[in-house]
Amino acid sequence: MSTATEMSSFLSGKFHHVDVDRIEKELLELWEQAGKAEADGEPSVTRACSMNFILCTSSEADVGADMLEDITLKHPCRAILAHAIQSNDEHLEAFVTARCRLVSGKKSQICCEQINVRWQGQGTRPLASVVLPLRIADLPTWLWWHKTRPAKEMIGPFLPFIDRLIVDTADMNGQLAHLFDLKDVFYRLDDDTVLYDLNWTRLLPWRQSVARAFHPGRGLLSIEDIDLIDKIDIEVSDGQAGVSIQALLMVAWLATRLSWKFVKGGRQSKDEVAIEFSLGRRRIHVVIRASKCQSASGSLNRMALEFVGNPDERLVVSQDCTAPGLLVRISGKDRNGKDAKQEGNGGGGTTGDGAADAVIETLENPLSGEIYEELLELVCEMAASVR
């Protein structure tokens, strides 16, 4: 293959097989060729990189390639797709390519590189030993642990070298034991390393809808009503037998913000679990049940809050199974004691499997996960009681 053809293939997104020991050298040579292309009349190339982004997966399929392409289009970076395939036979190979996009109104391209490293063998230490030196110095390193159990022996070799860790607890529905792995890993992170959960990110519209319902001057609910929540009824998409980590996260958020103390939890039936909290002498009852809605597995479909002393007063946040957006309903009595209702749009609803979109949202709004430690503790406590 000629040098020009090889360079063109590289910039088009096709992967080049490279020797593992020569990854950096091969990339340097390919970028040097791309930089000379302007003299030959080809569009000029600008290499850009704002971070190191590692996507680690145990899937044998090349599941991360398309997601990394979406991410690099928004955030040029050194993207590394790390496959860890557990096998009795050891094999290690690597591929490189460029991810490019045209600059609007110009012929020039902005490009970054993607490196695929595929390891077959036991554990992840050999994979980490190849991936970690590929990080560009002085740039933050993100690790997305994708659809892989976050066991300390698997993720541990990567932890000393990362600044941000992304997980998705939606992948753990039906495997609640993985939550305890995540908790163990969380406490092994350096103090400056931040943990992001895409499942928590997707709950933002639900949290905003609840918070706005109690905002002074809005709705029928006053800020004092929030301390009188008596019962929470939650419906999640079918297939989780009433146990949804997203629902547990939502409950944990309310409980930790309102100083509720966990009392007990248990399974009521195949499709329903009950959880109880206390606030002083008062008890708050939570029911989580599976519904027939065919939205993303384990996602919230409906949440109703009832209040002490007024059975007619309710806050209901719901999502149509087939359409985006949340509907917020508030019912109760107005100041004259008459029945009153209020409906409104609560904004975007829970996204489906759009993991890449959720990652892009996290990269664009990297808010600190300070309260997640508290949430994770309580979520694990509830999960242990309903398993």
Q: Assess whether pLDDT exceeds 90 at residue 102.
A: no
Q: What is the pLDDT of residue 352?
A: 44
User: What band does 351 get if pLDDT is binned at 50, 70 and 90?
Assistant: very low
**Residue 280 domain-assigned (yes or no):** yes
Residue 208 and residue 301 in one domain: yes
Percentage of the chain modeled with pLDDT above 90: 49
Q: Assess whether pLDDT exceeds 80 at residue 370.
A: no
What b-and-e string marks burial along 238-257, b requiring 16 or more CB atoms within 10 Å of the CB?
bebbbbbbbbbbbbbbbbee
Q: Could you report the per-residue pLDDT of 69-86, keeping only the tens digit for each? A: 889 988 999 999 999 999
Is the sign of the CA dihedral 359, 364, 370, 371 positive or negative?
A: negative
Cα separation, 61 vs 161, whole angstroms: 26
Q: Could you report the per-residue pLDDT of 137-166, keeping only the tens digit for each? A: 999 999 999 988 999 999 999 999 999 999
Q: How far is CA 146 from CA 115, 162, 195, 197, in A?
A: 17, 15, 14, 11
- HEC string of the chain equals CCHHHHHHHHHCCCCEEECHHHHHHHHHHHHHHHHCHHHHCCCCEEECCCCEEEEEECCCCCCHHHHHHHHHHHCCCEEEEEEEEECCCCEEEEEEEEEEEECCCCCCEEEEEEEEEEEEECCCHHHHHHHHHHCCCCCCEEEEEECCCCCHHHHHHHHHHCCEEEECHHHHCCCCHHHHHHHHHHCCCCCCCEEEEHHHHCCHHHHHHHHHHCCCCCCCCCHHHHHHEEEEEEEECCCCCCCCHHHHHHHHHHHHHCCCEEEEEEEEECCEEEEEEEECCEEEEEEEEECCCCCCCCCEEEEEEEECCEEEEEEEEEECCCCCCEEEEEEEECCCCCEEEEEEECCCCCCCCCHHHHHHHHHHCCCCCCCHHHHHHHHHHHHHHHC
**Residue 168 domain-assigned (yes or no):** no
Residue 84 and residue 14 in one domain: yes
How confident is the model over 115-119, as a mean pLDDT? Answer: 95
**Residue 149 domain-assigned (yes or no):** yes
Query: End of a domain among 162, 194, 212?
Result: 162
Residue 270 and residue 328 in one domain: yes
CATH number at residue 380: 3.30.360
Residue 341 and residue 258 in one domain: yes
Q: How far is CA 16 from CA 27, 98, 345, in A?
A: 10, 10, 49
Q: What is the pLDDT of residue 2?
A: 53
Residue 258 and residue 144 in one domain: no
Residue 83 and residue 148 in one domain: yes
**Count of domains forming the chain:** 2
Is the sign of the CA dihedral 199, 204, 205, 209 positive or negative?
A: positive
Q: Assess whether pLDDT exceeds 60 at residue 1.
A: no
* Interior angle at CA 21, CA 19 and CA 25, nearest 5: 85
**Residue 359 domain-assigned (yes or no):** no
Q: What is the pLDDT of residue 384?
A: 94
**Residue 180 domain-assigned (yes or no):** no
Cα separation, 15 vs 64, whole angstroms: 14
Cα separation, 217 vs 157, whole angstroms: 52
Q: Are strands 52-57 and 300-307 parallel, antiparallel or unpaired?
A: unpaired
Higher pLDDT, 167 or 333: 167
Q: What is the pLDDT of residue 12?
A: 75
**The pTM is what?**
0.89
Strand partners, 229: 307
Residue 134 and residue 232 in one domain: no
Q: Could you report the per-residue pLDDT of 41-61, keeping only the tens digit for each? A: 555 788 889 999 999 998 766
Least confident of 220-224, 245-249, 306-310, 326-330: 220-224
Q: Could you report the per-residue pLDDT of 160-207, keeping only the tens digit for each? A: 999 999 999 998 887 888 999 999 999 999 988 999 999 998 999 999
Range of the domain at 145: 3-162
Q: Assess whether pLDDT exceeds 70 at residue 242.
A: no
Residue 39 and residue 90 in one domain: yes
Average pLDDT, the chain: 85
Q: What is the pLDDT of residue 9?
A: 79
Q: Could you report the per-residue pLDDT of 270-327, keeping only the tens digit for each? A: 889 999 999 999 999 999 998 877 667 788 999 999 998 777 788 999 987 666 688 9
User: What band does 350 get if pLDDT is binned at 50, 70 and 90?
Assistant: very low
Residue 151 and residue 27 in one domain: yes
